[in-house]
Structure 1
Amino acid sequence: MFRLAHFSDIHLGPLPAISYRELASKRITGYINWRRNRRLNLDHGLIDRITDDMLAAEPDHIALSGDLVNLALDKEIEMARLWLESLGPADKISVVPGNHDAYVPGALARCCKAWAAYMTGDDGKAPKGKGGFPYLRVRDRIAIIGVSSARATAPFLASGHFSKAQAKRLAKMLDATGKAGLFRVIMIHHPPVRGATHAAKRLYGISRFQKLIRKHGAELVLHGHTHKPTVHRIDGPKGETVPVVGVAAAGQSHGSAKPPAHYNLFEIDGAQGAWEIRFSRRGVTDGNGTIGEVSGALLTGGEKSAG
């Protein structure tokens, strides 16, 4: 059995000191949003309790699907690097960037450089920007594939993009790992399903992603971005459906508009064609910040696709 933990949307805080020059960009809208909303709804003490519970579960690997920072300030990016180092060794933690990590032009490249150890594939290559994804890590019988949907956008937009070039590289990885009989996990920040979020935050390239899965297959897709615990399904190549699982923001406080903080824990067993996925959500269960199991399920194929 392989135990995989998944969490997302850390939004590490508080914000460091920020200059007027740094605010002369899209960051001004993000800064206002932080002051009015995000800093009030994110409890960074919860992140510590969530990660403590996660580490106590002794996962074989941790998947982190983006938005480690808020405005992609240099000090935030460095703070996130130090936080990752405190979480565990880089070969046991895989990261993909989110829209906040690519908040302004040039930010994605800086994040890739700072967090390279957590995005380096088994080929020894680390992405230096969007052209370096996806990356592949094989742990036991599990293929972990990191896809980037992150890109800098205009103010009031938080959309992502899944390009033709990345799809071509991903198809080769899925074919090779499928042929090897591995359980294939795709990590991506934006949900690759329609209707999961509103137009300003959607993924461009959903049809491309779903067409690729229908042709090449996968066993599990993990995403963040929406701050919601969801399970969607998309069609696989042999009539089965592939679960697409989202997660609440790791520091989301109890009583806010979005569901409170949690992480996903998957226990994967079996073999190709007969994989079993036991899935539980562990997080805040009450207003006192108590961490426990929120829900559990056995994920199986064959359900109707979300489309």
Structure 2
Amino acid sequence: MFRLAHISDIHLGPLPALTILELASKRITGFVNWHRNRRRHLFANTLDIVMNDIERRDPDHLAITGDLVNLAARIEIDTVAKWLEEIGRPENVSVVPGNHDAYVPGAYERSTKGWYAYMRGDNAPSGWDEDFHVFPYLRVRDNVAIIGCSTAVATPPFAASGYFGRRQARETVNLLRAAGEAGLFRVVMIHHPPIDGATSFHKRMIGIRRFAATISSGGAELVLHGHTHLNTVYWLKAAAGPVPVVGIASASQGPGGHKPPAGYNMFSISGGPGHWNLLRERYELDQYGTDVLLAETTRFQPGE
């Protein structure tokens, strides 16, 4: 049995002091939003409680589906790099970026370079190369194929959309097919929910139909995403049967907000090709913000 933990939307705080030059961009809208809304509900100690509970349960691997920072300032990206080193070795933690990690032009390149060890495919170059397409990447752990995709792009103020393009779609199909032929359980990681209507228009993923076609053509057993800060389960069609698409609340969301409190998914994967078994245990911060409790258990049988 392979056990995979899933968290998302870290928004690692607190927000650092920024220069006037750094704020002279889209960051000013995010800066204002943080101080008016987010800082009241996103707490670092909440993230610590969640991570301590995950560590106690000792999963085989940890998947993080984006938005590790808030405004993608250089100091934030460096701080997340140190945080990643604290929570696990690169071979045991897989990351994909979110829209906040590509908040302004140039941020995507800085974040992927800074966190490359956690987004490096098994056959990718050992060091970050600006001419190399990091995504999609493939990591094989035990009998599980972890495929990381990116929808992270810089957007105008008041927009938080993502993009899944043709090149990435083609390469993802090839990785999915090869992993399926090898008899592996295929997990796809992506930040934006690849479901029409799952979020508002200005926060949507551009290329939803392309992604759906990718899953339909390549095949998969599980898709993980973040972005909405909600605990959700959707489905996508594939030749072998419907594929669960699972979202999770922000890992830093304190209790009492309009979004669900912080939590994580723990997936237990067993069985084999044609008869996979997938158990999802969703853990959630309690109403006092001091402990993490089992909130929901769901059993999936992908392809049936």
Give the alignment's TM-score, normalised by structure 2. 0.97
1:179 aligns to what? Answer: 181
The answer for the alignment partner of 1:193 in structure 2 is 195
What is the CA distance between 1:43 and its match in structure 2? 1.6
Does structure 1 residue 38 correspond to structure 2 residue 38? Answer: yes
Match of 2:81 in 1: 81
User: What SS does the aligned partner of 1:81 have?
Assistant: helix
Per-residue Cα deviation, 1:259-286 (whole angstroms, up to 9, x for no partner): 0000000000000110000101112122
Residue 297 (structure 2) pairs with residue 296 (structure 1): yes
| Distance (Å, rounded) in 1 between the aligned partners of 2:213 and 2:262 | 32
Gaps (5+ residues) in structure 1? none
| 1:290, distance to aligned residue in structure 2 (A) | 1.9
Partner in structure 1 of residue 9 of structure 2: 9
Displacement of 1:171 in angstroms is 0.8
Contact map agreement 1:120 1:127 (CA 8 A) in 2: no
Residue 207 of structure 1: aligned partner: 209
Secondary structure of 1:69 counterpart: coil
Count of matched residue positions in the alignment of Structure 1 and Structure 2: 302
Distance 1:270 1:95, change over 3 A: same
Q: 2:145 aligns with which of 130, 143, 146?
A: 143
For the residues of structure 2 that align with 1:167 and 1:128, how far apart are their CA atoms?
A: 20
Question: CA offset at residue 127 of structure 1?
Answer: 6.9
- Deviation at 1:216? 1.4
- Deviation of 1:131 (Å): 3.5
Q: What is the match of residue 152 of structure 1? A: 154
1:138-182 Cα deviation digits (max 9, x unpaired)? 000000000000000000000000000100110110111000000
CA, structure 1 residues 6+128, in 2 after alignment: closer, same or farther (shift >3 Å)?
A: farther
For residue 129 of structure 1, report the CA deviation from its aligned partner.
Answer: 8.0
Query: Is the 2:231–2:247 Cα contact (8 Å) retained in structure 1?
Result: yes
Q: What is the correspondence of 1:88-167 to structure 2 with a 5 Å cutoff?
A: 88-125=88-125, 126=128, 128=130, 131-167=133-169
SS of match in other structure, 1:169: helix
Deviations 1:213-244 (A, max 9, x none): 11211000000000000000010113x10000
Residues 241 and 128 from structure 1, CA distance in 2 versus in 1: closer, same or farther, beyond 3 angstroms? farther
Task: Name the SS of the counterpart of 1:292 in structure 2.
Answer: strand
Task: Structure 2 unaligned segments of length 5 or more: list them.
Answer: none
CA distance in 1, matches of 2:98, 2:71: 11
Q: Distance in 2 between matches of 1:94 and 1:299?
A: 23
Q: Is the 8 A contact 1:134 1:170 kept in 2?
A: yes
- The within-5 A match list for 1:220-235 is 220-235=222-237
Distance 1:130 1:102, change over 3 A: farther
Q: Corresponding residue for 1:252?
A: 253
Q: What's the CA shift for 1:287? A: 2.2
Partner of 2:242: 241
Indicate how the Cα distance of structure 1 residues 124 and 215 shifts in structure 2: closer, same or farther if over 3 A, else same.
Answer: closer
Contact (CA 8 Å) 1:62, 1:93: kept in 2 or not?
yes
Q: Which amino acid aligns with 1:229?
A: N
For 1:100, the aligned partner's letter is: H
Contact 1:112 1:129 in 2 (8 A): no
d(CA) in 2 for partners of 1:11, 1:129: 28
Rounded to whole Å, the distance in 2 between the matches of 1:206 and 1:236 is 15
- CA deviations on 1:195-217 (whole Å, 9 max, x unpaired) are 11000000000001101111211
C-alpha contact (below 8 Å) 1:119/1:127 kept by paired residues: no
For 2:277, give the aligned amino acid.
Answer: E
Tell me: CA distance 1:34–1:293, structure 2 relative to 1, closer, same or farther (3 Å).
same
Structure 1 residues 81, 14: closer, same or farther in 2, change over 3 A? same
C-alpha distance in 2, partners of 1:47/1:55?
A: 12
d(CA) in 1 for partners of 2:298, 2:61: 20
For 1:85-122, what per-residue CA distance to the aligned partner results, in whole angstroms no more than 9, with x for missing partners?
A: 00011100000000000000000000011101101110
Are the equivalent residues in 1 in contact too, given 2:179–2:186 (CA < 8 A)?
yes
Task: Give the C-alpha shift of residue 130 in structure 1.
Answer: 8.9
Q: Partner of 2:221 in structure 1? A: 219
